[in-house]
């Protein structure tokens, strides 16, 4: 089955710096890669996603890149703000499957 | 307001006492899913449903049951809870499957003693 590895598990940055979280997946048939943000005491919320026919996607300060050959994808947050502090999860969905496999999460702390 | 609701939000129970966690969505979504979240393990999928009367196992289905008799509801049933099922549970729904944005409920924190 699909396996998703996520690094780092914790990340601390200064406000205004950039943050990068990386994930690798095992199944080359995976074709959908979402990123979720979970704030304390809440359910995860989608912040950006990318499909396998696209190499990069951007939404304001957030971008995701996908390298299908290497089977890894990354979340980039620029100009970080304290409200970006949360746990971030990557996930992968195998084509033809309705399972979604999540990474173990990254706790991002943005220090003012 | 479009949302996924779960009840109860908090539950403490004893080993072996059957329980049900309800999940309901008001977005007419076809796909619904249950996850458990444990420290250091992230989110793991328990069961999912593509539509009424269509359910399938996720990665950690042992000890759980589900049913989908109505499109809006997807209850999670623990027939004989054990302490290793102590966890934070999330229900989620999406328009048409795992390849679309999933909307998560607020979570149910379950403790089995």
Which of B21, B38, B43 would you mutate first to test chain A, the one with the most A CBs within 10 A? B43
Q: What is the mean pLDDT of chain B?
A: 97
> Measured between CB atoms, which of A1, A6, A99 is closest to B48?
A99
Q: Is the separation of the CB atoms in B81 and B111 below 8 Å?
A: no
The beta-strand segments (E) located in B1-113 are: 4-7, 10-13, 19-25, 31-38, 42-51, 54-57, 65-66, 76-78, 87-94, 103-104, 108-112
CA torsion through residues A79, A50, B89, B42, sign:
negative
Cα separation, B27 vs A13, in Å, equals 37
Cα separation, A69 vs A61, in Å, equals 26
- Residues A58-74: what's their mean pLDDT? 97
Contact assignment for A104 to B50 by CB distance below 8 Å: no
Contact assignment for B44 to A102 by CB distance below 8 Å: yes
Contact assignment for A98 to B50 by CB distance below 8 Å: yes
pLDDT at A95: 80
Contact assignment for B45 to A99 by CB distance below 8 Å: yes
Contact assignment for B107 to A103 by CB distance below 8 Å: no
State how far residue A73 is from chain B, nearest Cα, in angstroms. 16
Q: What is the pLDDT of residues A3-16, one digit of tens each?
A: 999 999 999 999 99
Cα separation, B95 vs B50, in Å, equals 10
Q: Is the separation of the CB atoms in B94 and B75 below 8 Å?
A: no
- Residues A83-111: what's their mean pLDDT? 95
**DSSP assignment letter at B106:** -
Angle at A23 between CA A58 and CA A2, to 5 degrees: 115
Q: What is the mean pLDDT of chain A?
A: 96
Q: What is the pLDDT of residues B74-99, one digit of tens each?
A: 999 999 999 999 999 999 999 999 99
Any B CB within 8 A of A100 CB: yes
pLDDT at B47 over 90: yes
- Residues A82-102: what's their mean pLDDT? 94
Pairing of strands A45-51, A100-102: unpaired
Q: Tell me which chain B residues have a C-beta less than 8 angstroms from the C-beta of A103.
A: 42
Pairing of strands B108-112, B10-13: parallel
């Amino acid at each position: 089955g699909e396996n998703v590895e996520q690094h780092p598990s914790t990340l601390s940055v200064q406000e205004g710096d950039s943050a990068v979280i990386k994930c690798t997946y095992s199944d080359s048939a995976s074709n959908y890669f979402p990123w979720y943000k979970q704030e304390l005491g809440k359910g995860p919320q989608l912040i950006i996603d990318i499909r396998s026919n696209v190499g990069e996607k951007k939404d304001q300060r957030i971008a995701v890149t996908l390298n299908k050959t290497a089977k890894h994808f990354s979340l980039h947050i620029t100009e970080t703000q304290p409200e970006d502090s949360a746990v971030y999860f990557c996930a992968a969905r195998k084509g033809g499957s309705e399972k979604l496999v999540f990474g173990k999460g990254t706790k991002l702390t943005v220090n003012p | 307001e479009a949302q996924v609701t779960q009840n109860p939000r908090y539950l403490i129970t004893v080993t072996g006492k059957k329980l049900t966690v309800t999940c309901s969505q008001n977005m007419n979504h076809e796909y619904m899913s249950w996850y458990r979240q444990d420290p250091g393990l992230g989110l793991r999928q328990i069961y999912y449903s593509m539509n009424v009367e269509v359910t399938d196992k996720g990665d950690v289905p042992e000890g759980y049951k589900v049913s989908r008799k109505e499109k809006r509801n997807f209850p999670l049933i623990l027939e004989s809870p054990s302490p290793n099922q102590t966890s934070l549970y999330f229900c989620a729904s999406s328009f048409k499957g795992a390849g679309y944005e999933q909307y998560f409920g607020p979570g149910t924190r379950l403790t089995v003693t």
